[in-house]
Amino acid sequence: MKFTTPPPQVPNVLLTFPAPHVLLITLNRPAQLNAIPSTQHAPLAALYDWYDNEPSLRCAVLTGAGRAFCAGADLKEWDSSNNSLSRKVQMPPQGFGGLSNRGGKKPVVAAVNGLCLGGGMEMVVNCDLVVASPKAKFGLPEVKRGVIAVAGALPRLPGILGRQRAGEMALLGRVYSAGEMERWGVVNWVCEEGEDVVGRAVGVAREVAGNSPDSVVVSREGLRLGMDGGLGMERATEVLVKGMYGRMEGGTNMKEGVRSFVEKREAVWVDSKL
């Protein structure tokens, strides 16, 4: 796969390209349950910016090496900083892991292979689609550690779960199964026992990447305006139509999608210029 610029180097992260137009990001601190140190958030944010700006990439998958997706913040580092005079590293606007508060342009699929706690959960609730192992565990245990989920999950959870279930998760700090999270609407698909969760997620990403890249970007923007814009449904629709939709209307991919339907053939998309 050819890129306009090389991908940025991110410590403790593996980058692979398992399918056309698909980026696989693997958090690679298995001994620390893929807890993310403070110095890693900004490089991860830069990685997602690179992904958004690379025309040949259309969907990303995020997973973790070993038995955890991400156990959240590195609490040993946090404890050390609490007991020192060292300056704390500023969290980027995109949030925990460069993802928990990301707006962005292109979709991210979470492949939750194991423990998904704290900041890991905050990243997942801001992903576009979620595939989980049947052994995955989810939760926001911050209240049990004297802190809170401050990287974006708390404002988003009521919209996903409803007020009472969001309160249960945030105020009790319990851990939940993949099946419970599927029933609550956090997880799209729970894999069968023994099924490769990353392979399943890459299959989902391939399906996304097979659609018009322009339509995916603009559809995602419409969803984001409805969830995070605080605009109301009518105003959000107006902003979308006059904004990103206006940039794709009548474009190459829109014309190709209609023409391919009329000609009863598979569409041949070009990389998005949005």
CA distances (Å), origin 136, targets 41, 61, 125, 189 = 23, 16, 15, 12
CA distance 260 to 258: 6
Q: Identify whether the C-beta of residue 156 lies closer than 8 Å to the C-beta of residue 125.
A: yes
The answer to whether the pTM exceeds 0.75 is yes
Q: What is the pLDDT of residue 240?
A: 72
pLDDT in tens, 121-170: 999 999 999 999 999 999 999 898 888 888 889 989 999 999 999 999 99
What CATH topology corresponds to 13-209? 2-enoyl-CoA Hydratase; Chain A, domain 1 (3.90.226)
| Mean pLDDT over the full length of the chain | 90
The structural domains of the chain, with segments of one domain joined by +, span 13-209, 213-262
Q: What is the pLDDT of residue 75?
A: 67
Token pair of 227 as six digits: 């969830």
Residue 233 pLDDT class (50, 70, 90 cuts):
low
The 8-class DSSP code of residue 127 comes to S
Token pair of 108 as six digits: 């991210």
Contacts of 191-197 spanning 24+ positions with Cβ under 8 A: 191/131, 191/132, 191/133, 191/134, 192/134, 193/134, 197/63, 197/111, 197/112, 197/113, 197/131, 197/132, 197/133, 197/136
**Which residue in 145, 129, 150, 142 sits closest to 206, CA to CA?**
129
**Which residue in 28, 238, 204 sits closest to 132, CA to CA?**
204
Q: What is the pLDDT of residue 87?
A: 46
Query: Across-strand partners of 109?
Result: 61, 129
Cα atoms in the Cβ-side hemisphere of radius 13 Å centred on 218: 23
